[in-house]
Amino acid sequence: MASVSTPARRAAAGSSRRAGFRRAAATDRTRSGGAGWLFATPFLVFFTLFLIVPIGIGLWMSFTNASLTGHGDGTLVGLDNYAEAFGDSQVWQTLGNTVWFTVLTTVPLVLVALVMALLVYTGMPGQWLWRLAFFASHLLPVAVVYQIWSMLFQPDRGMLNGLLKIFGIDGIAWLTDEKYAMWSIALVTLWWTVGFNFLLYLAALQAIPDHLYEAAALDGAGAWRRLWSVTLPQLRRTTGLIAVLQVMASLKVFDQIYLLTKGGPNGATRPILEYIYDTGFTNYRLGYASAVSYVFFGLIIILSIAQLKIFSRRED
């Protein structure tokens, strides 16, 4: 009986424990004086210099007509840049591309990673080989990924069209046809990055206590029942984490698109980050580029908060 604790008792114990930590932390702080700050200083200096200050300068610039060429600096234009951004069809188009890419990649990157992890975890022989094979592509730098896939996608001599030809299907212009380009990029991204999510899932699977499966087996649950009622609910927290990380990573897509299609054909794969880059660094309009960045920054923050809220509610 002594081991049974009611929720109220658990909460009380928890709060007293927390209060205890607080007290201990307070005394510790007084004792150690400035040492903590001293150790944190190098980080704080870099954090301030290279994150806080640029964020502040960027925000300021977004209200000016600053140019990379040093002209127009400091001339406040108020909300003009933001007004232009909201009326700029390129902003909407590239934002649409970015969101479309995020949709195309997030779902498979969660599902495929889960399936891969389950396959490896549920006793396929030669586990080390599968782990290596599934994770290996994640180790490649983006330039190598670009080299491999630009050859595979090559319409005349590429392997993918070669395979299609065997089945009597005409070649596809993978990267130069507006209909297929974004799908092709999504395919590359899936191949390249799925290994990381796979690893997170594998770690989560290994952390599920065996006794849950034993208890389920004793209750007569079959393999599918154990998957649905034990494994997947236990993975919920990891799925939430992967989904949040994935959405943010996909929204920030740039490298593989810049290398494979430069945003083409016809702007069909141009993400908003490339538009910001082109506006700021190729066309030198830093003020306007900053404003577009802040619009995008705001969107990422809103999405992340919403996503975290959704998943934390599920946790409750």
Partner 1 sequence: MSGLSRRGLLRGAVYGAGAAVSASALSGCGSIAGSVRSADEIEYWTLFTGPDGELMKTMTRNVEKRVPGLKVRTTVLDWGPPYYTKLAMASAGGRSPDVAIMHLTRLAGYAPGGLLDPWDLDLLAEFGLKQEDLNKTLVKRSLYQGEPYAVPLDTHPFVVFFDRDVMDKAGLLTGDGQLVPFESPKHALELMDKLRRSGGTLGPVFGHANDAAMGWRMFWTLFSQTGATFDLTGKRAEIDEDTAVEVVRFMADLTRDSRTMDVQTAIAAFANGRSPMIFSGEWDMATYKATLKDKLGGSPIPTFYDRPAGASDSHALVLPHQDNPDPERRRRAHRFVAELVRSGLTWATAGHIPAYTPAVSSPQYARLRPQSEYAGAAKQLVLDPPVWFAGSGSDFQTRMCQALDPALGGSSSARSAVRTMVSQINTLLAQPNPA
Provide the binding-site residues for partner 1, judged by CB under 8 A: 38, 65, 67-72, 89-90, 150, 154-157, 171, 173, 175-179, 260-267, 278, 281-286, 288
For residues 204 and 215, give the distance between their C-alpha atoms in angstroms, rounded to a whole number.
19
Exposed/middle/buried for 60, CB within 10 Å: 0-12, 13-18, 19+? middle
Pick 23 or 179: Cβ nearer partner 1: 179
**Which residue is it, tokens 């806080």?**
52
Residue 182: how many other CB atoms lie within 10 Å: 20
Q: Which residues pair with 76 in a beta bridge?
A: 64
Pick 135 or 284: Cβ nearer partner 1: 284
For residues 127 and 157, give the distance between their C-alpha atoms in angstroms, rounded to a whole number.
35
**Shortest distance (Å) from residue 26 CB to partner 1:** 22
**Shortest distance (Å) from residue 70 CB to partner 1:** 3
**Which residue is it, tokens 């330039």?**
143
Residue 29: how many other CB atoms lie within 10 Å: 10
Pick 170 or 315: Cβ nearer partner 1: 170
Whole-Å CA distances, 54 to 57, 63, 217 = 5, 14, 57
Pick 239 or 279: Cβ nearer partner 1: 279
**Shortest distance (Å) from residue 286 CB to partner 1:** 8
Pick 176 or 229: Cβ nearer partner 1: 176
**Which residue is it, tokens 């992340």?**
304
**Shortest distance (Å) from residue 50 CB to partner 1:** 16
For residues 245 and 265, give the distance between their C-alpha atoms in angstroms, rounded to a whole number.
28
Pick 70 or 168: Cβ nearer partner 1: 70
**Shortest distance (Å) from residue 52 CB to partner 1:** 21
Pick 124 or 169: Cβ nearer partner 1: 169
The per-residue DSSP string of 222-267 comes to -HHHHIIIIIHHHTHHHHHHHHHHHHHHHHT--HHHHHHTTT-STT
**Shortest distance (Å) from residue 250 CB to partner 1:** 22
Pick 5 or 69: Cβ nearer partner 1: 69
Tokens for 124?
């396929």
For residues 121 and 127, give the distance between their C-alpha atoms in angstroms, rounded to a whole number.
8
For residues 184 and 263, give the distance between their C-alpha atoms in angstroms, rounded to a whole number.
13
The three-class DSSP label of residue 76 is strand
**Shortest distance (Å) from residue 62 CB to partner 1:** 15
**Shortest distance (Å) from residue 191 CB to partner 1:** 19
Kind and range of the H or E element at 182? helix 178-206
